[in-house]
Amino acid sequence: VMAAAIERLLAELAESEEPMEELRSLRTAVSAAPLSALRESLSAAQLGLIFSLLNTNDREQIEVCVEILGRVLQVLDPAYLAQNCKAELQSGLSHPDDSVKVLALTQIGRVVSHTEGITEVLSSPEILRDVIHCVGAERIGVAKEAIAALSKLSNTKAGLDALFRSDLLKELKDVMATSDVIRYRVYELVVEVSSVSPVSLGYCANSSFISQLLEELTGDDVLIRATAIEMVTSLAQSQHGRLYLSQQGIMDKISNMIIAADSDPFSSFYLPGLVKFFGNLAIMDSPQQVCETYPAFLNMVFAMAMDPDPTQTPVALDTLGLLGGTVEGKQVLHKTGEKLKTALKRMSQLARDEATELRVRSLEAIAQLLTLPVERQTDDLLLLTESWFSYLSSQPMEMIRNISTQPFPELHCCALRIFTAIACQAWGQRLMMSTPGFAEWVVDRSVGKGKEAKDCKFELVGALLSSSSTREIFGAQNYLKLKSYLEEGPYYVSAVSAVTTEGAD
């Protein structure tokens, strides 16, 4: 039935002088039709008809055609599209309307992810030339789709050869020279392609893109430098990327930039990026190795944590949390002695007195530092987390409890996460039991409104029950209450509170 209705509308459309009405009806029919029906009902000629109606200045007509084509093309086989709609897709790439460009780029992305499709596209390099030009489009949405399509193309050797070993390489470099913004879009593509495999990294390196990016790290413009560091951090996400950067001496270069930052009045623009680079590196490789090889990194993290400039603190907090979230990282931080002690005091002060966002970042970092899963607990590590908790303030339980009673849901949940972090450690359980009213508060469902607060409370109960010492420390009665809380789930509403509202009318 659907297919017949679509057939009829297409026939009417082919005859029509003023196609708007038929297009609107066709859009409705196509949106309602199941995808399987669409596959059967449109021939290449009929698709060509809708494509030809894009050649107009009428905004609404373009919009409706794009909606119809977007729905129909996604169900067609990429190889079929490549064979039958190549010219239409290519003309879409130079259409004045951005929505048509995005439509064409999305479909070309599908085509080049397909073996037969890629062969078709490579036989018409001018399509790829137009895709490359779209990287330089004014609208970021168009550029993003173009980058995505070229990135998919590069997943095959044939695609890599086309992009980096043919005349298209010159096109890419010409587009790149248009402006700083577009140069960075090309770097984004290069980093994405390089991340796929050592082979694809080799193509990008041989075409001198990567060495050019690495030179930008020490360029004169601090904002360009900041963006370059972000790109290099992305490149370091893959193991072969890290190996390459290490061979090129980039780790040492970035470490030296951190050391030199003290004498650069503009370093606050790019310093957070440098610290983030090493923070990521430490988590992917080894916190101990990275911190010992590049001592300037950890020194800078502590300096930024104490910096009164609020733009520097968040990255330091995140990095301390990231490092301290691993057992090896905890041991590295423990070796810094007084430095960490001072940082923890500063974190607890930020958690009490600063703007909400900074308070949240501090509390999250504290929770990561104190987290120690049951299976990783040793006497030494338990002593370490216990001492860190005691550095927070003279009354750390009171302090976290006060934050948990505040009317801001995000602060309430962050405080609960700290309790969750210490809930499976015996020293934490003893502190909880010696805090008046704590055991009752944990199982009191009237505390904390909203889904997130209920979920956080549920996790806290789960953490308590994951430890073998809870039963002994909390006592049998409290232990049973915790168990039934867990069994009832996070959103349980007791029958008593439900009954009291009955008969009120």
- Please give the pLDDT value at position 495: 66
Residue burial 383-419, b: 16+ Cβ < 10 Å; e: rest: ebbbebbeebbeebbebbbebbeeeeebbbbbbbbbb
Percentage, residues of the chain above pLDDT 70: 97
3-state secondary structure 71-91: HHHCCCCHHHHHHHCHHHHHH
- Please give the pLDDT value at position 503: 45
Percentage, residues of the chain above pLDDT 90: 78
Q: Average pLDDT for residues 14-23, to the nearest whole number?
A: 89
- Please check the confidence at residue 6 and state whether its pLDDT lies above 90: no
- Please check the confidence at residue 37 and state whether its pLDDT lies above 80: no
- Please check the confidence at residue 316 and state whether its pLDDT lies above 90: yes
Q: Which single residue is written with the structure tokens 């057992």?
A: 327
- Please check the confidence at residue 52 and state whether its pLDDT lies above 70: yes
- Please give the pLDDT value at position 496: 58
- Please give the pLDDT value at position 1: 66
Q: Please, what is the average pLDDT of the chain?
A: 92
d(CA 100, CA 220): 39
- Please give the pLDDT value at position 505: 45
Q: Average pLDDT for residues 381-393, to the nearest whole number?
A: 97
Beta strands in 11-100 (DSSP E): none
| Beta-carbon count within 10 A of 323 CB | 26
d(CA 111, CA 150): 11
Q: Average pLDDT for residues 170-199, to the nearest whole number?
A: 96
- Please give the pLDDT value at position 401: 93
Confidence of residue 280 (pLDDT cuts 50, 70, 90): very high
Q: Which single residue is written with the structure tokens 């948990």?
A: 404
Q: 65 or 493: which carries more pLDDT confidence? A: 65
- Please give the pLDDT value at position 407: 81
- Please give the pLDDT value at position 15: 87
d(CA 418, CA 403): 11
CB-side neighbour CA atoms (13 Å) of 453: 17
Q: Average pLDDT for residues 338-365, to the nearest whole number?
A: 94
- Please check the confidence at residue 142 and state whether its pLDDT lies above 50: yes
The answer to whether the CB of 134 falls within 8 A of the CB of 174 is no
Residues 6+ apart with CB under 8 A from 196: 154, 155
- Please check the confidence at residue 500 and state whether its pLDDT lies above 60: no
Confidence of residue 497 (pLDDT cuts 50, 70, 90): low
Structural element, H or E, at residue 235: helix 222-235
- Please give the pLDDT value at position 93: 96
Structural element, H or E, at residue 431: helix 426-433
- Please give the pLDDT value at position 502: 46
Q: Find, among 177, 197, 195, the residue nearest to 186 by Cα.
A: 177
The answer to whether the CB of 330 falls within 8 A of the CB of 381 is yes
DSSP state of 146: H
d(CA 363, CA 319): 13
Q: 405 or 479: which carries more pLDDT confidence? A: 479
301-310, 324-333, 493-502: least confident range? 493-502
Q: Average pLDDT for residues 338-358, to the nearest whole number?
A: 94
Q: Average pLDDT for residues 394-411, to the nearest whole number?
A: 91
- Please check the confidence at residue 167 and state whether its pLDDT lies above 90: yes
- Please give the pLDDT value at position 368: 97
- Please check the confidence at residue 437 and state whether its pLDDT lies above 90: yes
d(CA 279, CA 301): 9
d(CA 364, CA 432): 20
Q: 476 or 495: which carries more pLDDT confidence? A: 476
The answer to whether the CB of 389 falls within 8 A of the CB of 399 is no
